Amino acid sequence: QMDQAVKHLIKAAELEPAQAMYAQAVALLYETLMDYRKAVAWARRAVALSGDDPANVSMLERIQAAAAASENS
């Protein structure tokens, strides 16, 4: 079911490419799936679309830290 969720969220992001909330949702879902490479990419997109919104910047930093930690383990 997670695959379906990812597909639906990505489709929403494609249909509304200027909406940061969809990019944020995709990033959070990939973070949950521990696919940090994709999570970071989507989080960066959310930050860019939101004009450096502090919540999205914080999300990106958290995901980047998790990615680094997973590489070091």
The pLDDT tens digits for 11-58 are: 999 999 999 999 999 999 999 999 999 999 999 999 999 999 999 999
Cα–Cα nearest to 21, from 32, 9, 30, 31: 9
Helix (H) / strand (E) element for 30: namely helix 20-32
pLDDT in tens, 31-40: 999 999 999 9
The answer to whether residues 29 and 6 touch, using CB atoms and an 8 Å cutoff, is yes
> What distance lies between CA 70 and its chain's CA centroid?
17
Instruction: Give, in degrees to the nearest 5, the angle at Cα 52 between 66 and 28.
Output: 35
Query: Is the pLDDT assigned to residue 65 strictly greater than 90?
Result: yes
Q: What does pTM read for this prediction?
A: 0.92
**pLDDT level of residue 7 (50, 70, 90 thresholds):** very high
Q: Which residue has the higher pLDDT, 33 or 1?
A: 33
d(CA 63, CA 60): 5
